[in-house]
Amino acid sequence: MQTEIGGEDHELYMKEVYPKFTEKTGFEVEVEVVPWGDDLITKLQTMGAAGTLADVATDISPWSRTFVDAGMCLDVTEALKTYNFPYEDLKAGSPIQEAYTVDGKVYGMNLEVACVACIIVPELFKKAGLPEPTKDWTIQDLKELAKKLTIREGDKVVQWGVGTDPGSGWYREAFLETADAPLVKPDNITPQANHPDAVALMQMYQDMRFKDNTMPTSADRQLLQGAGDSWMTGVYEGKVAVHFGCCGAQRNLDKFGKVEYKFAHLPKFKRGGSALAGTGYFVYSQTKYPTEATQLMFHLCSPETQKIDAEVLGWWPSLKSVRESFFAGVKANPGNYDTMNDIILNARLAPSSLVAGKALELQQIDAQRMSQVWEEGKPVQEVLDQIQKEFEAAIARKS
Amino acid sequence: MAAISNETRQRTGKTSVLARREAIEMYICLAPWLIGVVVFTLGPMLASVVLSFMDWKLLKPPVWVGLDNFVSIFTSDPLFTKALVNTAYYTGFSVPLQLITAFLVAMLLNTRVRGLAIYRTIFYIPSVFSGVAVAIMWIWILHPNAGLLNQGLGILGIQGPNWLGNPQWAMPAMIIMSLWGGIGSPMVILLAGLQGVPQHLYEAAEVDGANGWHKLRHITLPMMSPVIFFSLVVGIVGSFQVFGASYILTGGGPNYATYTMVLKIYQNGFTQFRMGYATAQAWILFLILVTFTYLQFRLSRRWVYYETETVGKR
């Protein structure tokens, strides 16, 4: 049997996972690692179309619907009854499994989840004489907090109040949705770039960047890069006090961190909840070994694998029981993990998961046009209206 | 000899067997190449002609749409025009700049200086580097605050722009990068051409009192014109297909400022899965290049000097 896994880092823990499957079942598994990013989606879809996809392949929640629509995924609803998989535990852990379920049928399983996290450096709050954000803080508080936490030496900023990347792509999408600015219309299908809440939020960030100078530009953020693969370096070098970003950043914080960090509760939003995405697996509909491949998929998302994944890579398990035991057992500061657990439990499925098959094109439009907001300082309303027009044109083309 | 041999062949019939065997052997030797061309070049090319008239989302069977793709490209896709203009802008600046710089470097290397081979290698090295590595290196060189280029400009009292973040400067930045990595190959070709210019022409010109400029204008440039022409044609074809620089350096941004034709074709085809539409654009690009090349050949009659042709006319 063959399996396709996305991202080189996943190969690390797979070394432990596959031998266990072979030991249990006697089936040998050939693993092909595909780099993360656009290439992964392209490769999966191309191989799906060509009939050469691996028996079990990576399933990313925003793309799951597209794969299902294309007939690439095997329906495993019935198989769930046969295998001893803690499905209810998975559903209780977060809403992520909705992404792999179409019309009540299950087409894939989730392994790990990602959502927006707020990471703070308590020491910098202490130095500024400010209390850490509590459960009831709001996004408006952030602007003022950023001013108080930004430190300048002449014209040069030596410590940024807030560092985030609301620029484009998953971050912008997740961030907008998290912060009450819906990116899809109430039909949960039509994208909506220029919702008044989105305009207001982007305007606030644009002001923080250009007027207040409390949030780094992309060029400034580049200088904060260094260790690891994330612009979180600014946080772990103590140059950024508050950061909004992907919760997975904690693995780099743990790996390279030079300062103590802490997860804070997200600001209080009207609708509440972070936008959530995740990675899992699906069984290729044209597999020659449907039973064995299904067994492998369950194994790759099992409590045992999720635990190894969390321990080796630091990703957040989607199974509630695994996450809770992992939080309790691994870290000395469980409060951190309680906060994240709370955020994951209250998260909502990221809208790209709902706008099946259009996500990447829309993200490309978004990435190109948003530079006008972040680099040129153009009026947010104007740019978002333009993006909306292009979104609609793209969707009309698709349909 | 050939006449006798043919005669003998016809008379005896034996050599025709030999000739046939030779022909078979030739085709066997050519077979891998021929199969490769048919299967991997000609076949896909012909298939792409058909695909350009289809709507193919890759995951579902293609549907015949006639000229719809071409009509959409010209009537409802402003990004096509944008990409075409960007590509023309890139070509219009990068090719002449590369050629002029490569020519100047080749002239310098054509002198008898010590360590010539080392200099030649140094100038050629950038063109053998991986395009991805070069682009990443240039991301740092072009960084608005910490980049080498802006640091250097700062020493001269000039505030450098945000090269890759500003739509006005992103394309010039890409052209600068292409200059660094793109002069190696034309430089080697031009250097070979320069070394082939007969020395006696310069000696005769010197006897007639020609100075350096006269020699360049009336000997070097005319004698080098076929080589310059070749480099120009190859350069234009190559730069119209620019992809790596815009994909890695800027992703086509900001605000589509470096969005080029091949990047658009790639995105339409491989990330938006509009294969028929992407193929139609690829054919338009091909036709543009064929037209350009044809025009260049037509215009070359006015400025390209082939010594053998002139000799033939006499």
DSSP secondary structure, A33-92, as one string = EE-SSHHHHHHHHHHHHHT---SEEEEEHHHHHHHHHTT-B---HHHHHHS---HHHHHH
Does residue A229 carry a pLDDT above 50?
Answer: no
- Report the predicted TM-score, pTM, of the whole model to 2 decimal places: 0.81
Judge: B165–A375 Cβ closer than 8 Å, yes or no: yes
Judge: B259–A70 Cβ closer than 8 Å, yes or no: no
Interface contact A367, partner B, CB < 8 A: yes
**Which chain A residues touch B148 with a CB distance below 8 Å?**
none
Judge: B59–A369 Cβ closer than 8 Å, yes or no: no
Interface contact A155, partner B, CB < 8 A: no
Higher pLDDT, A234 or B104: B104
Concatenated DSSP letters of B127-184: HHS-HHHHHHHHHHHT-TTT-HHHHHHHHTT-----TTTSHHHHHHHHHHHHHHHHSH
Does residue B161 carry a pLDDT above 60?
Answer: yes
Does residue B16 carry a pLDDT above 70?
Answer: yes
Euclidean distance between the first and the last CA atom of chain B, given in angstroms as a whole number: 30
Interface contact A330, partner B, CB < 8 A: no
Q: Which of B165, B272, B273 is closest, CB to CB, to A218?
A: B165
ipTM above 0.85, yes or no: no
Q: Which residue has the tokens 């722009």?
A: B161
Q: Which of B144, B146, B255 is closest, CB to CB, to A368?
A: B255
- Given this model, what pLDDT does residue A394 score? 81
Rounded mean pLDDT of chain A?
Answer: 83
Higher pLDDT, A14 or B231: B231
Count of positions (residues) in chain A? 399
Residue B103 C-alpha, separation from nearest chain A C-alpha, in angstroms:
36
- Banded model confidence at residue B2, pLDDT cuts 50, 70, 90: very low
Judge: B254–A361 Cβ closer than 8 Å, yes or no: no
Distance of CA B57 to the CA centre of its chain: 31
Residue A3 phi, psi dihedral angles, 5° rounding: -140, 145
Does residue B224 carry a pLDDT above 90?
Answer: yes
State the average pLDDT over residues B99-110.
Answer: 93
Cβ distance A173 to A134 under 8 Å?
no
**Which chain B residues touch A223 with a CB distance below 8 Å?**
143, 145-146
Does residue B204 carry a pLDDT above 50?
Answer: yes
What is the Cα–Cα distance from B308 to B295, expressed in whole angstroms?
A: 23
Does residue B254 carry a pLDDT above 70?
Answer: yes
Judge: B255–A369 Cβ closer than 8 Å, yes or no: yes
Cβ distance A198 to A381 under 8 Å?
no
- Take residue A200 and report the two structure tokens written for it: 């207001």
Does residue B53 carry a pLDDT above 90?
Answer: yes
State the average pLDDT over residues B189-196.
Answer: 92
Handedness of CA B152, B157, B158, B159 (dihedral sign): positive
Longest dimension (CA), chain A: 67
Interface contact A200, partner B, CB < 8 A: no
What is the Cα–Cα distance from A172 to A186, expressed in whole angstroms?
A: 19
What is the Cα–Cα distance from A17 to A8, expressed in whole angstroms?
A: 15
- Given this model, what pLDDT does residue B220 score? 93
**Which chain B residues touch A369 with a CB distance below 8 Å?**
255
Residue A262 phi, psi dihedral angles, 5° rounding: -150, 145
Share of residues in chain B with pLDDT > 70 (%): 93
Among B80, B271, B277, B281, most A C-beta atoms within 10 A, so best to mutate, is: B271
Judge: A367–B251 Cβ closer than 8 Å, yes or no: yes
Does residue A11 carry a pLDDT above 80?
Answer: no
How confident is the model over A330-389, as pLDDT tens digits? 554 556 778 888 888 888 887 765 454 556 677 778 888 888 888 888 999 999 999 899
SS3 state at A357: coil
DSSP structural state of residue A186: T
Concatenated DSSP letters of A13-44: HHHHHHHHHHHHH----EEEEE-SSHHHHHHH
Kindly list the domain boundaries of chain B, sorted by start residue. 2-51, 68-313
Among B273, B274, B275, B277, most A C-beta atoms within 10 A, so best to mutate, is: B273
- Give the type of residue at A234: G
Is residue B254 reached through a cis peptide bond, with omega within 30 degrees of 0 on the bond before it?
yes
Lowest-confidence range among A104-113, A270-279, B72-81, B253-262?
A270-279
According to CATH, the topology of domain B68-313 is MetI-like fold (1.10.3720)
- Banded model confidence at residue A277, pLDDT cuts 50, 70, 90: confident
What is the Cα–Cα distance from A222 to A229, expressed in whole angstroms?
A: 11
- Given this model, what pLDDT does residue A328 score? 64
What's the half-sphere exposure (Cβ side, CA atoms, 13 Å) at A388? 18
Interface contact A43, partner B, CB < 8 A: no
How confident is the model over A155-204, as pLDDT tens digits? 889 899 988 766 656 667 777 777 778 878 877 777 888 999 889 988 99
Nearest CA in chain B to A46: B58
- Given this model, what pLDDT does residue A334 score? 58
- Given this model, what pLDDT does residue A71 score? 87
Interface contact A101, partner B, CB < 8 A: no
Judge: B165–A219 Cβ closer than 8 Å, yes or no: yes
Q: Which residue has the tokens 């804070």?
A: A264
β pairing state of B54-55 and B63-64 = antiparallel
Residue B155 C-alpha, separation from nearest chain A C-alpha, in angstroms:
18
**Which chain A residues touch B161 with a CB distance below 8 Å?**
none
- Given this model, what pLDDT does residue B314 score? 39
Q: Which of A219, A364, A393 is closest, CB to CB, to B162?
A: A219
Of the ranges A127-136, A178-187, A346-355, B278-287, the best mean pLDDT one: B278-287
- Given this model, what pLDDT does residue A294 score? 95
What is the Cα–Cα distance from A356 to A362, expressed in whole angstroms?
A: 11
Higher pLDDT, A25 or A180: A25
- Given this model, what pLDDT does residue A245 score? 79
Cβ distance B150 to B143 under 8 Å?
yes
Cβ distance A42 to B270 under 8 Å?
yes
State the average pLDDT over residues A381-398.
Answer: 86
Lowest-confidence range among A71-75, A346-350, B310-314?
B310-314
Interface contact B146, partner A, CB < 8 A: yes
Cβ distance B288 to B85 under 8 Å?
no
